[in-house]
Amino acid sequence: MSTEERVVIVGASLAGASAAEALRTEGWTGGIVLIGSESELPYERPPLSKDVLLGKKETESAQLHDQQWYDDNNIELRLGTTVTAIDTAAKTVTAGDEQLSYDKLLIATGSRVRKLDVSGGDLPGIHYLRTASESQALTDAYASKPRVVVVGAGWIGLEAASAARERGSEVTVVEPQSTALAQVMGETVGAIYADLHRQHGVDLRFGTGVDGFEGTDKVTGVRTSTGDVIPADLVVVGVGVQPNTELAEAAGIKVASREDGSGIVTGPNLQTSAADVFAAGDVVRWDHPLLGHSVRVEHWSNAKDSGKTAAKAILGQDASHDAIPYFFTDQYDLGMEYAGDVPRGTSNHVVLRGDPASGAYLAFWLADDNHVLAGMHVNTWGAIDGVQDLIRSGRTVDPDRLADDSVDLAEV
């Protein structure tokens, strides 16, 4: 690429901003235009459901850089601007009333929350947690210690419940699955997280769906599938996200079906089916060169790492996105890091290393041939590198030695 060429990044997200930064770090001196529909400077999402929600920090603390940094690095920020079309033949994007040409394009449009389509779903007092403004609104609402009902016992739901309890609210969690985190952690580990929340006074209603919300000018209750109405001053809905693939799909770029896991389809170098168009962050489903199957990851580390990989690929470097999927959570006095990927429907079994009752342990998900698909630690800091080494090695392990915390992980 020449210095007269321009890279356009659609999505002023963590992935998009990380790509812009990596382009400059890798020596690119041409134009960079970073377009985002939100008015805030690019930011990281993890603080929004952790320190910000706890009232410990302001949303501005999640920003990646201040405006001066973008000015100093000659990155043109177009905030509060929505891209409505991509023309891969003409190599343009439509942003507002303008058509903007590109030489290379990165789609980093992220994902959006899934909404509950039930009666009363638009009542004031019902919150979703995805953006900085949504985090600030929920943080402010928590200050009055309302009665909180959380819909969904996934990661966002549990972090929202934890923050509400720590700030003094009465909290009920409603979840149609049989335990917390059932789809991502399975029954064994999910039950451990459920016990953690019970110990902190959360009322857990498993096997229970939501039929609607009660109230007139404001939500006053949650009507459940069991016929109960749970009183609520505030509701937090955390029922997952969906990738923003519509722009790519309308442009004729290959997108996976929902049955195939959704996302813009790419190879390991994150190039899409369209020439000179790449994808990064929540929106991309790529062929993982190490795991041997395609994955789409909705967590902070993937947004950051895939943005860097995409930047290298845009510059024509030999780039391959082989980072092990990783995420973390903080709830009450529990700190956890997780690495790996267990495809839904994959046969696996869980091995615990240490006693969960002690508050510090590890868990591993093993395939039928006993190679490690994923692992996590709880309050066992420094262990995640060993977990990732096991995953990368692809070797089979002895489950009994893996469960024995006197045996070094490198020797299981």
Per-residue confidence of the chain (412 residues) as pLDDT tens digits?
A: 666 799 999 999 999 999 999 999 999 999 999 999 999 999 999 999 989 999 999 999 999 999 999 999 999 999 999 999 999 999 999 998 899 999 999 999 999 999 999 999 999 999 999 999 999 999 999 999 999 999 999 999 999 999 999 999 999 999 999 999 998 999 999 999 999 999 999 999 999 999 999 999 999 999 999 999 999 999 999 999 999 999 999 999 999 998 888 999 999 999 999 999 999 999 999 999 999 999 999 999 999 999 999 999 999 999 999 999 999 999 999 999 999 999 888 889 999 999 999 999 999 999 999 999 999 999 999 999 999 999 999 999 999 999 999 999 999 9
Q: How far is CA 398 from the centre of its chain?
A: 32
H or E element, residue 213: strand 210-215
Where are the CATH 3.30.390.30 domain residues in the chain? 333-411
> In the CATH hierarchy, which fold is given to the domain comprising 115-239?
FAD/NAD(P)-binding domain (3.50.50)
| Predicted local confidence at residue 2, as pLDDT | 63
Taking the CA atoms of residue 192, residue 198, residue 199 and residue 202 in that order, the dihedral angle to the nearest 10 degrees is 140
| Predicted local confidence at residue 267, as pLDDT | 98
| Predicted local confidence at residue 4, as pLDDT | 79
Of 134, 138, 210, the closest CA to residue 173 belongs to: 210
**Measured at the alpha carbon of residue 37, what is the angle toward residues 31 and 40, in degrees to the nearest 5?**
90
Classify domain 333-411 by CATH number. Answer: 3.30.390.30
| Predicted local confidence at residue 344, as pLDDT | 83
CB 175 within 8 A of CB 152: yes
Structure tokens at 214: 């009660």
270 pairs with which residues across the strands? none
Where are the CATH 3.50.50.60 domain residues in the chain? 6-112+242-314, 115-239
Beta sheet of 294-295, edge-to-edge order: 264-266, 284-287, 294-295
d(CA 401, CA 366) in angstroms, rounded, equals 13
d(CA 7, CA 311) in angstroms, rounded, equals 10
In one-letter notation, the amino acid at residue 140 is D
Phi and psi dihedrals of 99, rounded to 5? Answer: -105, 125
d(CA 277, CA 102) in angstroms, rounded, equals 10
| Predicted local confidence at residue 96, as pLDDT | 86
CB 374 within 8 A of CB 340: yes
Count of CB atoms situated within 10 Å of the CB of 216? 8
- Strand intervals (E) in 259-398: 264-266, 277-279, 284-287, 294-295, 326-331, 334-340, 348-353, 361-367, 372-378
Of 401, 353, 392, 357, the closest CA to residue 374 belongs to: 392
> In the CATH hierarchy, which fold is given to the domain comprising 6-112+242-314?
FAD/NAD(P)-binding domain (3.50.50)
